[in-house]
Amino acid sequence: MFIFTKMTQIPVKINNKNPKLASYILSQYGGPDGELGASLRYLSQRFAQTDKSGIALLTDIGTEELGHLEMVGSIVTQLTKGEGARSFDRYGVGDYYIDHANGVYPSSASGVPFSAAYLQSKADPIADIMEDMAAEQKARATYDNILRMSDDPDVTNVIRFLREREVVHFQRFGELLVKLQSKIK
Amino acid sequence: MENNRQITAQQLMKKLSEAMFYVNDLKLYLDTHPEDSRALRMFDEACKNSEACREAFEKRFYPLMACSSDCDKEWEWLVGVWPSQKMA
Ligand SMILES: [Fe+2]
């Protein structure tokens, strides 16, 4: 089960407004390598794991990713808080405003709605963990792209933290893979 | 010693989030190194510290978990900074 705690892993406090940057960061909410896909992937794959380390790691990383989803949604909200239709339009994201106004909608930076087709659940522990390692690298690469676009230190601090977590997750999945492979031999 | 009057919600939250981060990171490590006795001891210590930090924050500011709400008068759970909001 999950129990909500009223805080984020690190505080999210964005002072400036920037609907355009928000629309880029939204990709880590509901885009192809975003946190929603990450948490759904791990929390779904764990049901087919038999190794206790595998079950635990997928559960614990999947849970952390749900917290990251919340942090990304919070960045997007704070970057657009109080901004109206004209502001969105001036920033070049009037189309997002028409569909969702100041709402956080799970979609990619290019406007594609979230899809479960971004992930797999194969009941094959090796295949699943290999996918997870690739997913962590793709999430890390997306955070790198966001860091290239952002010049707001309030945003950059949080994005750097999230990027670093993907590196740690990749490391842990790698250790799990070695363990699973050694059991096969 | 820190002057109690000057401790802000932000400062206590920083301590708490650092303590919880340590717990979480050790937890992932232990998932793949379940027999590391040094990490086990560190985890035990980290959990106690994070629990104490959370209680200190909740006592002074607002409930972070529903069951920490003070139910004497009104629904205190509503009080505080929700994840979409930023701390003052
Ligand atoms: Fe991750």
Residues B22-76: tens digit of each pLDDT: 999 999 999 999 999 999 999 999 999 999 999 999 999 999 999 999 999 899 9
Set of chain A residues whose Cβ sits within 8 Å of the Cβ of B65: 3-6
Higher pLDDT, B88 or B4: B88
**Pick from A3, A10, A61: which is nearest to B28 by CB?**
A61
Q: Which of B1, B13, B2 is nearest to B60 (CA)?
A: B13
Residue B36: DSSP 8-state? -
Tokens of B77: 């759970």
According to the model, what pLDDT value does residue B6 have?
66
Task: Judge: B65–A78 Cβ closer than 8 Å, yes or no.
Answer: no
Neighbours of ion ligand 1 (CB under 5 A): A 166, 169
Q: B7 falls in which pLDDT band (50, 70, 90)?
A: confident
Q: Is A15 exposed, middle or buried (0-12, 13-18, 19+ CB in 10 A)?
A: exposed
Give the residue ranges of chain A where pLDDT is below 50. Answer: none
Structural domain boundaries in chain A: 19-184
Query: Using an 8 Å Cβ cutoff, are A162 and A71 in contact?
Result: yes
Architecture (CATH level 2) of domain A19-184: Up-down Bundle (1.20)
Between chains, do B33 and A175 touch, taking CB under 8 Å as contact? yes
A-contacting residues in B 16-75 (Cβ below 8 Å): 16-17, 20-21, 24-25, 27-29, 31-34, 62-66
B79 part of contact set with chain A, CB < 8 Å: no
A98-140 pLDDT tens trace: 999 999 999 999 999 999 999 999 999 999 999 999 999 999 9
Residue B13 near residue B57 (C-beta atoms within 8 A): yes
C-alpha A148/C-alpha A33 separation (Å) is: 17
Q: Which of B24, B28, B32 sits opposite A179 (nearest CB)?
A: B32
Annotated domain spans of chain B: 9-68
Question: ipTM for the complex?
Answer: 0.95
> pTM of the full predicted structure?
0.95
- Taking an 8 Å cut-off on Cβ atoms, the answer to whether B83 and A8 are in contact is yes
| Cα-based distances in Å from A26 to A30, A71, A72, A86, A98 | 7, 11, 7, 20, 16
